[in-house]
Amino acid sequence: MSTLEEPVADASATSAAPLLVGEDVRTHFRSPRGTVRAVDGISFSLAEGRTLGIVGESGSGKSVLARSIMNILPRRAVVAADGHIRFKGRDVRPLPRAEMRKLWGREMAIVFQDPMTSLNPVLRVGDQLTEPLRVRLGMNRTHAAERALQLFRAVGIPAPERRLREYPHQLSGGMRQRVTIAIALACEPELLLADEPTTALDVTVQRQILDLLAERRREQRMATILVTHDFGVVAGRVDETIVMYAGRAVERAPTALLFTETRHPYTSALIRSIPRLRNPPHTRLEAISGRPPDLVAPPAGCRFAPRCRHAQPRCTTEDPPLTPAGATGHEFACFFPVGTDRGADALARNLRAGRTATGLAVAGGGTGVDT
């Protein structure tokens, strides 16, 4: 798990027109138990050279959203007709696979969480890198091999000539992830999605991978979406962050503002769960009580209410909409937000009662969302 860094401003930020726009994106799945609402109404926009972070627990819908943008969903996915994902002004959701193949690699690319599932174990990594160069860019074998060598050097793979001849199992986890990044960057896409690119890597390799993605983004002016469960990964690395819970956006803001003016109790809980360098060794991490809801039959009202220390009777019956917090681009979906009088009063009432409106036991010294 990454430690929390102080958020910093992105010097490369621009006011360019959006390259990617999502409007009320909904992606559901058929299951024997009913319809799984994996992504249930997400909107976003991303301009050239900008970065967007998507943060949430496992099962919050982050990866499904990334795959929805790439249009690589399984057949059992149900895509709502009234939602849109526009890339360069064109809605990609209804495009057939043949049309999407023209976009993949050259205009948009993705780096998956586990490189062993995205690399072919029986092909040399060099062959897997030269294939998109030859198929997408029309390079001959010689030029593709030269370009592959340049890419391996660019992503920091030592002894690149030898590594090009090796198979995935001969490389370390960090090395395999660098290979997948090289493949994703091979055709210099305008949009790069990185879906949990540092999970299962040690902290040192995590930073190297994130620094590498940032460097390539600056050099190629790519728009980048970084999907992660760890706020320590997005801190200081993305321009804007969307916090997802149970398929929905519960808070969205410029990243620096999200850390300094957190409003949603779920966002606060995620931030409080991150280890900090200033804490003494063996400090107990704060966990969020309970578990995410069943997306086949989510609870009435706010989906986070059963786990929220602020929860009041209103939260069990009404679903809070995303509400703007001034003109800063900050939005949150909460009736009793953190850092406000309403939120403080709600928490104080629950602490006096010893439990919330949903029956969650709360105490001043226990794990929780806001104190």
- The DSSP call for residue 367 is S
In this structure, is residue 281 part of a structural domain? no
pLDDT tens for 316-364 read 999 999 999 877 889 999 999 999 999 999 999 999 999 999 999 998 6
Residue 371 has pLDDT above 70, yes or no: no
pLDDT tens for 17-28 read 799 999 999 999
In this structure, is residue 366 part of a structural domain? no
Q: Domain check: are 248 and 322 in the same one?
A: no
Q: Domain check: are 6 and 78 in the same one?
A: yes
What is the C-alpha to C-alpha distance for residues 23 and 42, in angstroms, rounded to an integer? 7
Q: Which of 188, 210, 245 is the last residue of a domain?
A: 188
Q: Domain check: are 35 and 102 in the same one?
A: yes
Percent of the chain with pLDDT over 70: 93
Q: Domain check: are 83 and 96 in the same one?
A: yes
Tokens of 333: 């979906």
Q: Domain check: are 162 and 61 in the same one?
A: no
Residue 166 has pLDDT above 90, yes or no: yes
Q: Which of 260, 285, 312 is the last residue of a domain?
A: 260
Q: The whole model's pTM is what?
A: 0.88
pLDDT tens for 80-95 read 778 899 999 999 998 9
Q: How far is CA 258 from CA 186, 232, 236, in A?
A: 33, 13, 11
Looking up residue 200, the CATH number of its domain turns out to be 3.40.50.300
The sign one gets for the Cα dihedral 263, 267, 269, 271 is: negative
Q: Domain check: are 1 and 88 in the same one?
A: yes
Residue 175 has pLDDT above 50, yes or no: yes
- When pLDDT is cut at 50, 70 and 90, the band that residue 370 belongs to is low
Q: For residues 302-341, b (16+ Cβ closer than 10 Å) or e, as one string?
A: bbbbbbbbbbbeebbeeebebeebeeeebbbbbbbbbeee
- When pLDDT is cut at 50, 70 and 90, the band that residue 144 belongs to is very high
pLDDT at 267: 96
pLDDT tens for 183-215 read 998 998 999 999 988 876 778 888 888 888 888
Q: Let me know: does 242 contact 252? Beta carbons within 8 Å.
A: yes
Please, which residues bridge with residue 34 across strands? 31
Using DSSP, state whether 240 is helix, strand or coil.
Answer: strand
Q: Domain check: are 133 and 208 in the same one?
A: no
In this structure, is residue 32 part of a structural domain? yes
In this structure, is residue 275 part of a structural domain? no
Q: Domain check: are 160 and 193 in the same one?
A: no
What is the C-alpha to C-alpha distance for residues 369 and 266, in angstroms, rounded to an integer? 7
In this structure, is residue 361 part of a structural domain? no
Q: What is the CA radius of gyration of the chain?
A: 22
What is the C-alpha to C-alpha distance for residues 112 and 197, in angstroms, rounded to an integer? 6
CB burial of residue 282 (10 Å; 0-12, 13-18, 19+): exposed
pLDDT tens for 123-132 read 999 999 999 9
What is the C-alpha to C-alpha distance for residues 17 and 214, in angstroms, rounded to an integer? 21
Q: Domain check: are 25 and 92 in the same one?
A: yes
In this structure, is residue 93 part of a structural domain? yes
Q: Domain check: are 98 and 174 in the same one?
A: no
**Average pLDDT score over the chain:** 88
- When pLDDT is cut at 50, 70 and 90, the band that residue 8 belongs to is very low
Q: Which of 235, 260, 285 is the last residue of a domain?
A: 260
In this structure, is residue 283 part of a structural domain? no
What is the C-alpha to C-alpha distance for residues 261 and 140, in angstroms, rounded to an integer? 53
User: What range defines the domain where residue 314 resides?
Assistant: 293-353
* Residue type (1 letter), 276: R
What is the C-alpha to C-alpha distance for residues 351 and 337, in angstroms, rounded to an integer? 16
pLDDT tens for 264-283 read 999 999 988 877 778 788 77
- When pLDDT is cut at 50, 70 and 90, the band that residue 139 belongs to is very high
What is the C-alpha to C-alpha distance for residues 145 and 318, in angstroms, rounded to an integer? 59
Q: Domain check: are 199 and 167 in the same one?
A: no
What is the C-alpha to C-alpha distance for residues 60 and 50, in angstroms, rounded to an integer? 23
Domain count, the chain: 3
Q: Domain check: are 30 and 98 in the same one?
A: yes
In this structure, is residue 173 part of a structural domain? yes
pLDDT at 228: 92
Please, which residues bridge with residue 195 across strands? 227
